[in-house]
Amino acid sequence: GWQVSTKSGSLSYILPCSRLPVQLMSQVRVYTSNGQKKDLGSEDTNGSARGETLHKVETGQDTANAGQKQSSPKQPIQVKVKAVLKKREYGPKYTQNNFITGVRAINEFCLKSSDLDQLRKIKRRSPHDDTETFTVYLRSDVEAKSLEVWGSPEALARERKRRKEAEIKYRENLFRNQRLLWEYKEFFGNTKPRSSTAAMFFKGPGKVVMVAICINGLNFFFKLLAWVYTGSASMFSEAIHSLADTCNQALLALGISQSARTPDPSHPYGFTNMRYIASLISGVGIFMMGAGLSWYHGIMGLLHPHPVESLLWAYCILAGSLVSEGATLLVAINEIRRSARAKGLSFYQYVVQSRDPSTNVVLLEDAAAVLSVAVAATCMGLTSLTGNPYYDSVGSLGVGTLLGTVSAFLIYTNTEALLGRSIEPEQLQRLTELLESDPVVRAIHDVKATDMGMSKVRFKAEVDFDGRVVTRSYLEKQDIEQLLQEIQQVKTLEELEAFMLKHGENIIDMLGAEVDRLEKDLKQRNPDVRHVDLEIL
């Protein structure tokens, strides 16, 4: 059985009561987290006494069992002690090693720029494409400086509250001043040079929209006069159609001007989707004003027919409308062809994917206008030949159906664009292959590429980086001889910890630089990609 027990330091052994000779370690070393080692010695006084007792027991047993074969050779028991660093407890909130910019330090801690001159300045890799490095400060240093300046956390909190109230008051005054400035411009005239927003309406989609507004406005005026003179249901539908087109294109012009606004903290990705919103509302307007009123007037004409007056002037106005609407249609077609050629797409793909919603609306509205003029002229001709007013009412229903089809297409395409549809599979495959062909990337997962509208793509992927390649890239930029000397000088745990922390942080910075490089490559090789989010696995 187990009858004999020995103890050395904090290590205990239970030995069987056989003739197994025991030889304890002559010395036990215990390493602490700070790198110090403690020698517990060979054996303490109690250990010596227990050793003597054990010797006596062994001697008695050897005498009683004389004549038996000699004991087996002595086998020492070895104990391995693992040296580990003591785990640090950071708590639920730890901000001592955080870096903050000078702007945040001034705004959040109510400091002056002169206060920051006395703090440690740290150069870090910049998150912006236009600069390589920028200056940051340790948050702990900034907090200590703010307490030194304001005396106590309570005083700092009071100052923050006061500045918040002053900011709210400033915004209220700014809104009031902007309104006064607008009134001043209306009274004295705006002598400010033409802005970039106004210049948008002299080229591209803005030019197409402005031409359409002018032509459709004139068409509405003349068609309305023709309807008042003739009382034709088809002419009324045409007048309503031109009015709807004018209003919708004015809405498109508003969307174009709003989409040119610069991003702000509330809208970090900008206002480009305002074009899709305006086009969506335009599609709803075409359906309500154009299709709805045309159907209503056509149905009323079938239920309550009345004779149609001379249609000569109506034919003349329809002919002029056909020419003007055709001219606007040609302008829209040429603009879409030019844009589609620049994107490497066909005319059909460019329209269906709603790459330029404003031009698409003008194109479809003018195409519907040309077809509706042909339908109205045909039905009015049948009415004048046969004297039957039902043909005219059927023409009004036909124009309403055509407008309803156009509005349904606009609502569908713009809704798809606003929901954030994925890009084409071929384009996504090119982006994926570009990442996977890079040596620092092992694999990519959960790839998402969303079309944000107006040829702006947001790309997101989970990336499994090859740590060996990243580390090798770091070592290639170091002096290996000097690095070897640093390793040879490491003697204690404190020196080892400092060495690992120094180069570990540098390797993390190298990994961040690799992420920036990949994002830059994606944007350069695919100009449509504007926002890239690579998450490290």
For 267-293, the pLDDT digits (tens) are 887 888 888 888 888 888 888 877 887
Q: With bands split at pLDDT 50, 70 and 90, how would you rate the model's confidence at 1?
A: very low
- Taking alpha carbons only, the member of 358, 452, 450, 472 closest to residue 410 is 358
Task: Point out which residues pair with 4 in neighbouring strands.
Answer: 15
The whole-number average pLDDT for the span 38-67 is 44
Q: What is the pLDDT of residues 305-325, one digit of tens each?
A: 877 666 677 778 778 878 888
Residues 294, 296, 299, 301, CA torsion sign: negative
Fold match between domain 92-187 and domain 197-419: no
Options 3.90.1580.10, 3.30.70.1350, 3.90.850.10, 3.40.50.1220; CATH for 425-536 is: 3.30.70.1350
Residue predicted with more confidence, 9 or 289: 289
Task: Using a pLDDT cut of 90, give the percent of the chain over it.
Answer: 12
CATH number of 92-187: 3.90.530
Options 1.20.1510.10, 3.10.300.10, 3.40.50.1000, 1.10.3720.10; CATH for 197-419 is: 1.20.1510.10
Residue predicted with more confidence, 293 or 448: 448
Residue predicted with more confidence, 76 or 348: 348
Q: With bands split at pLDDT 50, 70 and 90, how would you rate the model's confidence at 439?
A: very high
Which stretches of 260-308 are DSSP H helices? 274-285, 293-303
- Taking alpha carbons only, the member of 175, 244, 182 closest to residue 216 is 244
Please check whether residue 366 is in contact with residue 325, taking contact to mean a CB–CB distance below 8 angstroms: yes
- Taking alpha carbons only, the member of 120, 83, 94, 93 closest to residue 105 is 120
- In angstroms, the CA 361 to CA 248 distance is 9
Whether 265 has a pLDDT exceeding 50, the answer reads: yes
Which pLDDT does position 296 carry in this prediction? 84
Using the CB atoms, write b or e for 475-507: b if 16+ within 10 Å: eeeeeeeeeeebeeeeeebeeeeeeeeebeeeb
Question: DSSP class of residue 271?
Answer: S
The whole-number average pLDDT for the span 404-415 is 87
Which pLDDT does position 438 carry in this prediction? 92
Lowest mean pLDDT, pick from 395-399, 409-413, 450-454: 450-454
DSSP string, 467-526: HHHHHHHHHHTS-HHHHHHHHHT--SHHHHHHHHHHHHHHHHHHHHHHHHHHHHHHHHH-
> How far is CA 502 from each of CA 90, 96, 384, 507, rounded to the nearest angstrom?
20, 17, 93, 9
| Phi, psi (deg, nearest 5) at residue 83 | -90, 120
- In angstroms, the CA 389 to CA 411 distance is 34
Which pLDDT does position 73 carry in this prediction? 55
Q: With bands split at pLDDT 50, 70 and 90, how would you rate the model's confidence at 298?
A: confident
Which pLDDT does position 310 carry in this prediction? 63
CB neighbours of residue 27 within 10 Å: 12
Which pLDDT does position 243 carry in this prediction? 84
Q: What is the pLDDT of residues 158-212, one digit of tens each?
A: 998 998 888 888 888 877 777 667 666 555 554 444 445 566 777 777 888 888 8
Which pLDDT does position 183 carry in this prediction? 61
Taking the domains of the chain in order of start, what are their residue ranges? 92-187, 197-419, 425-536
Which pLDDT does position 440 carry in this prediction? 93
Whether 40 has a pLDDT exceeding 70, the answer reads: no
Task: Point out which residues pair with 453 in neighbouring strands.
Answer: 456
Lowest mean pLDDT, pick from 10-19, 302-311, 513-522: 10-19
The whole-number average pLDDT for the span 41-51 is 43
Q: CA-based diameter of the chain, in Å?
A: 146
Residues 39, 43, 47, 49, CA torsion sign: negative
- Taking alpha carbons only, the member of 91, 89, 71 closest to residue 20 is 71
Which pLDDT does position 12 carry in this prediction? 44
- In angstroms, the CA 362 to CA 354 distance is 12
Which pLDDT does position 456 carry in this prediction? 82
* Tokens 């926002």, residue located: 531
Q: What is the pLDDT of residues 155-168, one digit of tens each?
A: 999 998 998 888 88
Residue 426 tokens read as 């071929």
Lowest mean pLDDT, pick from 8-22, 432-446, 481-495: 8-22
Lowest mean pLDDT, pick from 51-55, 144-148, 184-188, 452-456: 51-55
Which pLDDT does position 500 carry in this prediction? 92
Residue predicted with more confidence, 370 or 177: 370
Whether 508 has a pLDDT exceeding 60, the answer reads: yes
Q: Which residues contact 476 (CB under 8 A, 6 or more apart)?
A: none
Please check whether residue 382 is in contact with residue 315, taking contact to mean a CB–CB distance below 8 angstroms: no
The whole-number average pLDDT for the span 325-333 is 84
Average pLDDT along the chain: 77
Q: What is the pLDDT of residues 104-142, one digit of tens each?
A: 888 889 998 888 888 988 888 777 766 778 888 988 889
> How far is CA 31 from each of CA 38, 89, 119, rounded to the nearest angstrom?
7, 20, 38
- In angstroms, the CA 358 to CA 274 distance is 10
Residue predicted with more confidence, 370 or 81: 370
